[in-house]
Structure 1
Amino acid sequence: MATLTASQFANLHTFLVAARRGSFALAAQELALTPSAVSHRIARLEASLGLLLFQRLTRQVKLTQDGERIFVALQASWDSLHAAIAGSDALAGSITVHARPSIAQCWLVPRLAGFAAQYPDLSIDLRVGNDSVDFRAGQVDLALHYGDGSFPGLASRKLMDEWLAPVCSPAYAREHGLQDAPQHLSSATLLHDTLAWPACAPDAEWRLWLDVQAPGVRLPACSLRFDRADLCAQAAIHHAGVAMGRRQLVQPWLASGQLVLPFGGFTLASPQAYYFVHSGRAALPARVQALFDWLLVQGRGQTRRV
């Protein structure tokens, strides 16, 4: 078997970083090189392999099928090498996590200090957004989604369930006479998370709750719409209307008294739940498994209704 030269090893490492970042420019920043140097290293690697590893697009690069195949193998080898260097009992390195904005803001971020204290040699690169995650490029290790558990082509595991109930500020409840009177919602402003879960109707959560808890009440004409549940809750705190609260997200604001439950507690189980999602192409690296297991423990403490 041929031995890798220092130059070939450097080219492979450059390819690994560029594939993970999806950008020659970002790879150059990480490697303290110029984008031109990164491009030349990739070109030399492609020439030596006789393969095209990247599609060069206007503002980005994308792995070809050959590039993705080599990236998966190289990433697994790199993880094994890193673990061997660190030692069998050591956990170190970076974990890239993608999460929907609301669960990141209200649930995940407040818990990260505990993870950092337990795993001081692991760092987390948290990215948020409502867009779909492309695991093929290898830029994300683990995603945290709110959905029905259907993630075609990916591996997933439930983190925790969710329950729904309307929430508003105490002042808004008094002003509109809402306490134990859902029929008065007809004169209120409803706050909608239009992207509550993939491909849902803009008012899906409210229709779900009304159909079960207040079937005689119609949706009022006045509403405000957001693409994040935490923004709905913030608007409710500032007396803009009544939001459909998700227990896992709004509990701190209920505890502080900024929000109230005018129609009672969280009695309606959501058909959606929070899931870990990953590519499933191979076993999770030890560093990612550590975060996965730690978050499962956190989620188990959130399953009791209030």
Structure 2
Amino acid sequence: MKAIFYEKHGDADVLQYGEQPKPEVKDGHILIRVHAASVNQVDWKMRAGSPLPVPVIGSPAIPGRDVAGEVVEIGKNVTPFKVGDKVFGMLSSTIGGAYAEFAVMPADVAVVMPANLNYKQAAAVPLTALTALQALRDKGELEPGERVLINGASSAVGIFAVQIAKALGAGEVIGTCSSDHIKLVKDLGADQVIDYKKEDFTKHKESYDLILDAVAKRTFAESKDSLTENGRYVTTVPNPKDIMGYVTSLFTDRKPKTMMVKDQGEDLALIKDWIETGSVKPIIDKVFSLKDAADAQRYSEKESASGKIIIEVIPDEEGVTKP
């Protein structure tokens, strides 16, 4: 099969396009003909050997966690799916494998695609939407009626966080972004938008029950005075500079929490329901071909995208070959 792979850590130049063995189906897994994948920061951070340059396991490594495609083979002990089903989901962070013509996924984390999405749109959903849901509901313990601030509301995670906060019953959702993305964030349902280049939310007298730092740009120490008495702060990436902030949290009811996304099929099924009812929608920033995956990662590394970056493995309306 054709795939993007790397044999050593480095910049995007280490990514190669060529033939790789088609993965074998294991018990409890399904083989997917990949139509689309998406780029997440974890893809290029692992490629770069960040934060630690660990050896490439099972070299050569195929990056990619988000996948949408068609089931072409089913392993033993799999009952929910049949050949031909359109599915989407999140692959393992240690294995990856989405930047390829075929990928293997545990059946219990795969979900039939929303009926109102195409493959590219479906590939934009899993990792970032799951991160937003689990950050707000599980780590942030969001309650109906609460006031939520999403720092980085036009980011890949932030776009879903604004919508999912509303779906979970937040009373008011405030998002921060640049002036270029204010309309997008308002259209997603934000009640108020702060242009972070003109205003610093930590300097306002406003307070929030929950702050989700979707871009890991503001520390708990910087944000804690903007929290209510029992407010929670959740970040997608812990900041080493925030050690003292976590220490001081021991003496207050304001709590910092760090998010580590889990590939839970039941959570993705809930997100699918929201998508089909129109409560949540994916936003695509740019689409690249599989051959151009290195350019897709370079674009992601600029951290200026508004929405998801998609890698299209099989262009829409094209015929596909049998595995």
Q: TM-score, normalised by structure 2?
A: 0.27
Structure with bigger strand share is 2
Structure with bigger helix share is 1
Q: TM-score, normalised by structure 1?
A: 0.28
